[in-house]
Amino acid sequence: MPRTLHVTRPNAQFQQWEALLRNRTKRLRAGELVVQGVRPITLALEHGWRVRAVLYDDERPLSRWAEDLLERARGLRVAMAPDLLRQLSDKDEDVPELIAVVAMPEDDLARIPVGPSFLGAVFDRPTQPGNVGTMVRSLDAFGGSGLVVTGHGADPYDPKTVRASTGSLFAVPVVRAPSHREVLAWVTRLRAAGHPITVVGTDEHGTATIDDVDLTGPTLLVIGNETAGLSSGWREACDVMARIPIGGAASSLNAASAATVTLYEAARQRSRTSTTTP
């Protein structure tokens, strides 16, 4: 049985967990993140994420869900004073019943499954963690295979990202890559292995509307930075640049919204193909 640690004051271990919430560098160095909420924690466990510690309120009875999770999760058990547990929560008033500390997976593109129905996405240099989380959630909803975050940008393991994904971060592989070069080298290898992947960029000045682009085959969608759009490297690499027709006074869509529309269009086309194929 995993050992239990009792924490009643903000010791060094507590301060390390607290730093994971606010400090990207310390998250990266420790290789772990803090996870809150029933759905995110449950999905992390169901999808095989390594749980390093489970922190729970030492002063109240646990629910059946929490007791079951403590039994299933391997790692350190931490019975924590409620005031300290509240400090690790993203809610100011409520004390969470349970918080998990999980290990980050490797940034390996091989984690993303690729087959005939591959539908992946790239988010190039994102600035807002919430947009990264929303894109992961949309990928999960519309059958996406995984997300690659390229360049220096928002951290996919930021608490705001995890919260915006509503737990989908633990169901959909997310991989960080230094630049477009590593991703394009991966695409080249996949094509050589028999996967005819089409790289589709999105831009308000794209040459084709998104509904005119064939998204039924293996597809990698590329979404640009919220302000600057796609980098020149990605623009040159895309097989087609697509735009989303919009009206009204809006000049463009939020990056996460554009990704959601594009992913929906891909799912729509694929559902029609599957229903018409004998």
Rounded CA-CA distance 129/160 in Å is 6
116 has a pLDDT exceeding 70: yes
Name the pTM for this structure. 0.92
Rounded CA-CA distance 23/78 in Å is 22
Q: What is the mean pLDDT of the chain?
A: 93
* 79 CB-near residues (< 8 Å, 6+ apart): 4, 5, 6, 7, 56, 58
Give 123-179 pLDDT, tens digit per residue.
999 999 999 999 999 999 999 999 999 999 999 999 999 999 999 999 999 999 999
Give 183-210 pLDDT, tens digit per residue.
999 999 999 999 999 999 998 888 999 9
251 has a pLDDT exceeding 90: no
H-assigned helices in the chain: 12-22, 24-30, 38-46, 64-72, 82-87, 129-141, 159-165, 180-192, 232-237, 255-276
Assign a CATH topology to domain 109-276: Alpha/beta knot (3.40.1280)
Give 203-215 pLDDT, tens digit per residue.
888 899 999 999 9
Q: Percentage of residues in the chain with pLDDT exceeding 70?
A: 96
- pLDDT score recorded for residue 278: 47
Closest CA to 119 of 222, 204, 273: 222
18 has a pLDDT exceeding 90: yes
Rounded CA-CA distance 139/48 in Å is 19
Q: 4-103 — its CATH code?
A: 3.30.1330.30
- Spacing of C-alpha 127 from chain mean position: 14
Rounded CA-CA distance 202/223 in Å is 6
Domain ranges across the chain: 4-103, 109-276
Give 32-91 pLDDT, tens digit per residue.
999 999 999 999 999 999 999 999 999 999 999 999 999 999 889 999 999 999 999 876
